[in-house]
Amino acid sequence: MKLLDGKAVSRELLKKVKADIDHYIEKKHLGYNLSRPSIAIVMVGHNAASESYVRGKIKACERAEINHKIIRFDESISTFDLISEIKILNKSHFDGFIVQLPLPDHIDPKPIINEISAYKDIDGFHPLNFGKMALGQKAMRPATAYGILKLLEYYDITTKSQHVVVIGRSNIVGKPISIMLGNDFEIGRSTVTSCDINTPKALLKEEAQKADIVIVAVGQAGFLTADMIKEGAVVIDVGINRLKSGKLVGDCDFEEVSKKAGFITPVPGGVGPMTIAGLILNTFEAWKMKHLIEN
Ligand code: GUN
């Protein structure tokens, strides 16, 4: 079994983004003195998990030398007022911004996400970016799915003609990773089976046991057990669950699954840092788009 070290790969990608930004700034693209990318992170209320994720995002911005600002709103803000703030951010100097999820229960995230300018949507959640991604067009891509693809690419794990089982159908992870791996890209061209917690357990097991790559994103500690995978499978664990003991674990029974898997992501240190790398790569894309820098 080999660990897929998301923490190390993310650091390498951030270093590369920093160097690429330095390069364009030194080159004075189109004769301009470019300023470094800058992003905003909108937080509503105080959610312990979000506070921790955002600390990771800030650390990544620091590594890539991306300017960043946290904009906080009270838990009680109305949908109307939050949308007004987003309209302001759309017109601001920020190259990109995110609204950290989850939002308080009284705010439906859909109209909030829809209001974010697609050009500044560094989470890749806006329907325009999601649609472009699904059509295989250049777009800012949902950051976790993008990060997973980068991790597979880094370790030279082929996806072409591979059978991938994705467990979980969320808009931010399961759905986009299923679409991206089914697309006709270099990283893609897989045969994808999309399941979730409503898939009958026997059917889920039958499918997962045939899979070359299993991606699990259901938010339930111990959901994926060793009897559900085949020997040598690649296991990507997207879950982050805090046990009563305070320990952070993913969605798979790591101790047993890791004995059987060919590759596996640890939790923490696997997909989490790669999600942040995806966000930083999208930030770089948004900045390049704003300054008419072609790839
Ligand atoms: N909450 C959990 N993951 C994410 C993410 O990738 N982006 C945002 N905005 N909120 C999240």
Ligand 1 mutation target, pool 54, 122, 171, 172, most atoms within 8 A of CB: 172
Residue pLDDT, tens place only, 236-292? 999 999 999 999 999 999 999 999 999 999 999 999 999 999 999 999 999 999 988
In a domain, 211, yes or no: yes
In a domain, 8, yes or no: no
- Domain housing 200: 143-272
Residue of 5, 95, 121, 123 with catalytic role: 123
Contact criterion met (CB below 8 Å) for 46 and 55: no
The pLDDT assigned to 186 comes to: 74
**Which of 117, 135, 153 corresponds to the end of one domain?**
117
Note if 123 is an active site residue. yes
- As for how many domains the chain has, the answer is 2
In a domain, 110, yes or no: yes
The pLDDT assigned to 154 comes to: 97
| Distance in angstroms (rounded) separating the CA atoms of residues 224 and 238 | 11
The pLDDT assigned to 244 comes to: 94
The pLDDT assigned to 208 comes to: 98
Q: Are residues 261 and 148 in the same domain?
A: yes
Q: Are residues 51 and 109 in the same domain?
A: yes
Q: Are residues 98 and 147 in the same domain?
A: no
Question: At 226, which CATH number?
Answer: 3.40.50.720
Query: What is the pTM for the complete model shown?
Result: 0.96
Q: How far is the CA of 142 from the centre of ligand 1 (A)?
A: 9
Encoding tokens for residue 142? 């949902």
Residue nearest ligand 1's atom 3 by CA: 101
Ligand 1 mutation target, pool 123, 144, 274, 282, most atoms within 8 A of CB: 123
- Tell me whether the omega of the peptide bond preceding residue 200 falls within 30 degrees of 0, making it cis: no
Q: Are residues 86 and 51 in the same domain?
A: yes
The pLDDT assigned to 70 comes to: 98
| Distance in angstroms (rounded) separating the CA atoms of residues 85 and 89 | 6
Q: Are residues 154 and 248 in the same domain?
A: yes
Which residues' Cβ are closer than 6 Å to ligand 1? 53, 98-101, 123, 143-144, 172, 275
212 pLDDT band, cuts 50/70/90, is very high
293 pLDDT band, cuts 50/70/90, is confident
| Distance in angstroms (rounded) separating the CA atoms of residues 262 and 259 | 8
Residue of 5, 18, 95, 100 with catalytic role: 100
Note if 220 is an active site residue. no
Note if 196 is an active site residue. no
- Kindly provide the residue ranges of all beta strands, DSSP E only, lying in the chain, ordered along the sequence: 2-3, 38-44, 67-73, 96-99, 163-167, 191-195, 213-216, 234-237, 241-242, 248-249, 263-264
Contact criterion met (CB below 8 Å) for 151 and 274: yes
Buried b (16+ CB within 10 A) or exposed e, 235-267: bbbbbbbeeeeeeebbbbbbeebbebbbbbbbb
Q: Are residues 243 and 176 in the same domain?
A: yes
Q: Are residues 166 and 267 in the same domain?
A: yes
| Distance in angstroms (rounded) separating the CA atoms of residues 266 and 237 | 7
The pLDDT assigned to 218 comes to: 97
Q: Are residues 172 and 242 in the same domain?
A: yes
In a domain, 295, yes or no: no
In a domain, 288, yes or no: no
Question: At 60, which CATH number?
Answer: 3.40.50.10860
| Distance in angstroms (rounded) separating the CA atoms of residues 214 and 206 | 12
Q: Are residues 150 and 257 in the same domain?
A: yes
In a domain, 72, yes or no: yes
- The yes-or-no verdict on residue 295 having pLDDT over 80 is no
Contact criterion met (CB below 8 Å) for 47 and 104: no
DSSP string over 66-117:
-EEEEEEE-TT--HHHHHHHHHHHHTSS-SEEEEPSPPPTTS-HHHHHHHS-
| Distance in angstroms (rounded) separating the CA atoms of residues 252 and 239 | 8
The pLDDT assigned to 31 comes to: 82
**Which of 65, 82, 117 corresponds to the end of one domain?**
117
Q: How far is the CA of 40 from the centre of ligand 1 (A)?
A: 14
Q: How far is the CA of 106 from the centre of ligand 1 (A)?
A: 18
- The yes-or-no verdict on residue 187 having pLDDT over 90 is no
User: Cβ atoms within 10 A of the Cβ of 59, count?
Assistant: 12
- The yes-or-no verdict on residue 32 having pLDDT over 90 is no
Residue pLDDT, tens place only, 221-250? 999 999 999 999 999 999 999 999 999 999
In a domain, 279, yes or no: no
Q: Are residues 195 and 83 in the same domain?
A: no
Amino acid identity for residue 43 in this structure? M
Closest CA to 115 of 128, 100, 101: 128
Q: Are residues 90 and 188 in the same domain?
A: no
Q: Are residues 218 and 262 in the same domain?
A: yes
- The yes-or-no verdict on residue 67 having pLDDT over 90 is yes
| Distance in angstroms (rounded) separating the CA atoms of residues 107 and 109 | 6
| pLDDT, greater one: 292 or 220 | 220
In a domain, 5, yes or no: no
